[in-house]
Amino acid sequence: MPSASLQRTRLVRPFFMLFTAVTLASSLSACVTSSRGGDALSYAPGASSPVANLEGLVAGGGAARPQVARVEARDWKAVTVSGSYAIVAHNNAAADFGQRLRDRGVERVATALTGGVGGAYTANRDGIRQALASLGGGQACLFFATSHGNVAGIRLEAESRNRMLSPGDLDRLLDEHCGDRPTVAILSDCDAGIFLDSRMRQPNRILIAASARGRVSYGAKMYERYVNFDRCLMGAIDAGAATWQQAFNQALPCVQERERWLGVRPSEPQAYFGAQVANLGVPGAPPLSARLQ
């Protein structure tokens, strides 16, 4: 007959394994599959479209205008958005990405957080619109948003009924406040590939998505400061990526390494690079020619 200590071990071990599995699962996903307000569509596993090229899609068309390779840091305007406070990593990324831009010489930066804490704008449609409008014209625009998300868009918990910012919503915001100027939009959430749809693909835009449609973007570990994609993209910029294409390409191995370690389905980050801005430099990065000398 087993000893009392052995019996206790057999009872405790399954509970410990269950607790570990639940904890790991809660730390992996950086998304939700529906909104409480009923506006969002449910997450559809296996709905991902094929990824034509994980190293970025360079679009033809609209190439009659000269390509813009560099905009001085002082001539950018940038809005960083955290659509959720359920994971503190979202607020961290929005605040820290904005500070990185300031450190690189971007003077016009506004941050929109859920709850509008710390003097930031509130991360709902009106707050994001106010943030963009407050920065004036500028020669180039940057929009960064990190949150939960699904096939309806990226979640804005400060919005009435927890509605989503859809590709159509973002397209209208960028048209209104960025126009035909060089524009970079970075979407970090599950199903972020929906933002690479036809209306968003303009020759003056760069679109970077943390995941393909139908794919989860992972939060990695609960104690980390950022979710996986945000950590990898900012790491690539910190490491000296000169252009947005380089930043995206250099972030991919970082994302894939963590996902292999977690043993999860790949998120398949995607990007679109409009013909007019295919080689647009990251604000504050030295010109490519200087880097080659």
Is there a domain that residue 129 lies in?
yes
Q: pLDDT tens digits, residue range 168-180?
A: 999 999 999 999 9
Cβ-count burial 135-152 (b if 16+ within 10 Å, e if not): beebebbbbbbbbbbbbb
**Amino acid occupying residue 243:** T
Q: pLDDT tens digits, residue range 198-211?
A: 999 999 999 999 99
Is there a domain that residue 169 lies in?
yes
* Residues in the chain, total: 293
* The pLDDT of residue 7 is above 60: no
* The pLDDT of residue 39 is above 60: no
On whether the CB atoms of residues 92 and 123 are closer than 8 A, the answer is no
Is there a domain that residue 286 lies in?
no
Supply 198's token pair. 């036809």
Is there a domain that residue 290 lies in?
no
Calculate mean pLDDT across residues 210-239: 89
Calculate mean pLDDT across residues 184-198: 96
Q: How many CB atoms lie within 10 A of CB 11?
A: 9
State the pTM of this model: 0.80
Q: Which domain holds residue 251?
A: 52-281
Is there a domain that residue 68 lies in?
yes
In the sheet that holds 183-188, the strands lie side by side as 57-58, 270-273, 205-209, 183-188, 140-146, 76-82, 108-113, 121-122
- For the ranges 37-51, 61-75, 141-155, 204-218, the lowest mean pLDDT is seen at 37-51
Q: pLDDT tens digits, residue range 119-147?
A: 679 999 999 999 999 998 889 999 999 99
Supply 262's token pair. 């977690």
Is there a domain that residue 247 lies in?
yes
Look over the chain and give the mean of its residue pLDDT values, rounded to a whole number. Answer: 79
Please give the angle made by the CA atoms of 53, 213 and 126, to the nearest 5 degrees: 115
Q: How many CB atoms lie within 10 A of CB 220?
A: 23
Number of structural domains (the chain) is 1
Supply 139's token pair. 């020669």
* The pLDDT of residue 73 is above 70: yes
Is there a domain that residue 168 lies in?
yes
Predicted local confidence at residue 68, as pLDDT? 81
- Which residues are bridge partners to 218 per DSSP? 29
Is there a domain that residue 26 lies in?
no
- 3-state SS assignment for residue 19: helix
- For the ranges 61-65, 180-184, 185-189, 197-201, the lowest mean pLDDT is seen at 61-65
Supply 107's token pair. 């003077």
For residue 268, the domain's CATH number is 3.40.50.1460
